[in-house]
Amino acid sequence: MFSPSEDQNRRLLRARDAMDREFDSPLDVPALARIALMSPTHFTRSFRATFGETPHRYLQRRRIERAMALLRSTSVAVTDVSAQVGFESLGTFSRTFRAIVGVSPTEYRTRTRPVAVPGCFVKAWSKPSSFG
């Protein structure tokens, strides 16, 4: 049997895992709160208290991390990268990318090169920690 706080953490992890798996899907707070078996307001407060950022910010950061990997390792058009990581608008993608990374997606692609190390190291080195 789990304590109430352990149970809540398990439910929050279940929602965060869904964001990690389905980052390219249209996810919103009410859907994530249902996964965690919480009200949307309680879910947002609890998620922020547990993980240090809101669910929306976490999801945006995960999408941008994946976009960074695609921009580094493929020649897929920025518009297609935007759609592949779950953004409905290229403008929102570009604005969010610049806010997190500090440069536009196109600038990022021209400044970075694929690195001959395991992907997990590249992800750790280039992981954006938070917004701005």
What is the per-residue pLDDT across 102-129, written as a single tens digit (0 to 9) for each?
999 999 999 987 666 666 666 666 666 5
The pLDDT tens digits of the residues spanning 9-63 come to: 999 999 999 999 999 888 899 999 999 999 999 999 999 999 999 999 999 999 9
CA separation for the pair 109, 103 (Å, rounded): 10
Look at residue 131 and tell me whether its pLDDT is greater than 60.
no
The two tokens of residue 102 are 């500090």
Give residue 118's identity as a one-letter amino acid code: P
Check residue 33 and give its pLDDT.
96
Give the count of alpha carbons within 13 A of 24, CB side only.
8
Please give the average per-residue pLDDT across 59-81, as a whole number. 94
Look at residue 132 and tell me whether its pLDDT is greater than 70.
no
What is the SS3 assignment for 62? helix
Give the dihedral sign, CA 21/49/51/56: positive
Flag whether the pTM goes above 0.85.
no
The two tokens of residue 21 are 């798996």
